[in-house]
Amino acid sequence: MKKRTKSYLEYIAFRLAKAILRLCPYVVIRSFLIGVFRAGMWLGIRTHVARENLKMVFPDHSKQQINSIIKEVYRNMAITAAESFFCKKEKLYEQVRLEGWENLQEAQALGRGVLMASAHMGNWELAGPYIATHYPLGVIYKPLRNRFLDAYLNRDRIRHNILLIEKKTALRGILKALAEHYIVTIMVDQNARRDGIVIDFLGYPASTFTGVAKIAIKTGAPIIIAIAVRQDQGKHRFHFEKLIDPQDFSPDESGVRELTSLVTRRIEKYILAYPGQWFWVHRRWAGVEKARRG
């Protein structure tokens, strides 16, 4: 079967499944998706990756504690999918609580644009549209393998006033957006492989993207750490840390490393505080020799 045909059939199957589920009450959809993701967990879909990562970062945790976190990770992914595809954004916005919103306002008021460093936590897909209701927002994204599904998802993002900047050619788009006083969101918690520098992440060496630090130092755009955390009863809390002024860092390799490390440390504390809400199924430390932390 040709790749295009296969992608189109996958897309049709997705749209059909979504249309059928829409006939059900949201509470049924949510429970169904939790069951689907839980089945995926029991079938071992990326579960071994999550378990390996968690045992490394939390060596003193029991097997029961590790399994409990893994269950929460898959549950969070299921609820995020339910909210993303079956809830009106405006209804979800009513459940959002803000912490440090004044920090984002302060950064935007500087008039240099803002680089927002974030991580795959809570419902990270909700934070972008919410911010875009208040400020011009750009998001760095990597196209999906299935171009039909990719176009479908991107139409929804554009409908919520999000400027999409493709990762492959992101630099020019980021610089243009910052010059137009956009807030540009970049997810910085994934494995940069050959494109990053090796610094400690959660106690172990990991290849980490330096783009946020390099662009901030080059343009003077302040950095804001923004993290979405899921709370009980369908509520969400968006945390916005005090701005980091790149003018405090030297414009050389040591300055880039220092700033990248600072951004990483600020994100780490949320992962450690809410481990069940981070994307542990990603091979974050792959390709780097992992020495035990002392």
Higher pLDDT, 101 or 4: 101
pLDDT tens, position by position, 204-242:
999 999 999 999 999 999 999 999 999 998 999 999 999
Percent of the chain beyond pLDDT 70? Answer: 98
Convert the pLDDT of each residue in 77-134 to its tens digit.
Answer: 999 999 999 999 999 999 999 999 999 999 999 999 999 999 999 999 999 999 999 9
The Cα 53–Cα 48 span in angstroms is: 9
Beta strands across the sheet bearing 96-99:
96-99, 236-240, 223-230, 114-118, 183-187, 137-141, 162-166
DSSP 116: E
pLDDT of residue 289: 67
For the cut 60, the answer to whether the pLDDT of residue 262 exceeds it is yes
pLDDT tens, position by position, 178-190: 999 999 999 999 9
Distance set, CA 144 to CA 151, 154, 205, 210 (Å): 9, 10, 28, 23
Contacts of 284 (CB under 8 A, 6+ apart): 53, 189, 190, 191, 201, 206
Question: What is the structure's pLDDT at 168?
Answer: 87
pLDDT at 288: 86
CB 227 within 8 A of CB 118: yes
Q: What is the distance in angstroms between the CA of the first residue and the CA of the last residue of the chain? A: 52
Question: pTM of the prediction?
Answer: 0.93
- Of 210, 215, 126, whose CA–CA distance to 178 is shortest? 215
- Domains identified in the chain and CATH numbers: 3-277 (3.40.1130)
Of 168, 184, 158, 20, which Cα lies nearest the Cα of 86?
20
184 beta partners: 115, 138
The per-residue pLDDT for range 52-81, each reduced to its tens digit, is 999 999 999 999 999 999 999 999 999 999
**Could you report the per-residue pLDDT of 127-181, keeping only the tens digit for each?**
999 999 999 999 999 999 999 999 999 999 999 999 999 998 899 999 999 999 9
Question: What is the structure's pLDDT at 293?
Answer: 53
Give pLDDT, residue 3. 85
- Alpha carbon separation from 196 to 129, 190, 254 (Å, rounded): 28, 10, 14
Per-residue b or e along 31-49, where b marks 16 or more CB atoms closer than 10 Å to that residue's CB: eebbeebeebbeeeebbeb
What is the spatial distance between Cα 1 and Cα 284, in angstroms, rounded to a whole number? 33
Q: Is the pLDDT of residue 294 over 80?
A: no
